[in-house]
Amino acid sequence: MKGLGAALLGLGLWQGAVWALDMPGFILPGPGRVAQTLWQSRALLAEHALVTASEVLLGLGLGAFLGWLSALGLTWSPRAAGLVRPLLVFSQAVPVFALAPVFTLWFGYGLGSKVAVALLIIYFPVTSAFYDALAATPAHWVTQARIMGAGPGRILWCVRMPAALPGLLSGLRLAAVYAPIGAIIGEWVGASRGLGYLMLLANGRAKTDLMFAAILVVAALAIGLHRAMDALARAVEARRLACANPAPD
């Protein structure tokens, strides 16, 4: 209900701005006109949305896996963490818009460059959130595992990683929102398909209603991914708590 209320409020403010500013439709179309275009161009939007969704899912999967693997490696080797973490911060200090043309030059105008941009945006929040959660494992858990004879690898896998699972899931929630941004930026730089390409095409032809429709589809994709990750996080957390506190016989 809260989401529906927020959506209705946003639509009301949008329509109010159209009436108050009295702008022509090719500059600021109303929600009714955009909804009509959304329906009339549903096949075109679905075709390009499928391309963008594939880029997003590939980037999200690769970025999440590499972020998970990197956080484990940095936790395993504090010396490597001291060397690599500044590089991770530097990778985020460089604007993605500046790197997107480079990725297009390296990987071409196809799927690879868009996945690379999405991966770059996703990788840091997943790595950072999971690494910080691994470092925040309660010290007495680690001490107790050492007393019981567990080695560094077993402690990392059986103690630190389960304790850091909420941090990893939090990073994945953020990554689900950022992933579409990376794919769209990659399509803006150079593409012949995808919602980002469709936005530029619609803008160049003064079809602002189609551009707004594509933006709404991107927003729906991001919201859907975030909700899916949130549902996954809730299910995993419930499972973890059930295992930690089994019901009495």
Q: How far out from the chain centre does Cα 100 lie?
A: 17
Q: Is residue 221 part of a domain?
A: yes
Q: Is residue 39 part of a domain?
A: no
In the block, tokens 């992933």 appear at 179
Q: Is residue 196 part of a domain?
A: yes
Residue among 189, 211, 221 nearest 29 (CA):
211
Total domains in the chain come to: 1
Q: Is residue 149 part of a domain?
A: yes
pLDDT tens series, the chain, 249 aa: 556 677 777 777 777 777 777 777 777 787 888 888 889 888 999 999 999 999 899 988 888 898 888 888 888 877 777 777 777 777 667 777 777 888 888 887 888 888 888 888 888 888 888 888 888 888 787 778 787 777 777 877 777 888 888 888 888 888 888 888 888 888 888 777 889 889 988 888 888 889 999 999 998 998 888 888 888 878 877 776 665 554 454
CATH code, domain with 206: 1.10.3720.10
Q: Is residue 223 part of a domain?
A: yes
Q: How far out from the chain centre does Cα 213 lie?
A: 21
Amino acid at 240: R
Tell me how far apart the alpha carbons of residues 9 and 107 are, in angstroms, rounded to a whole number.
42
Domain that holds residue 163: 45-242
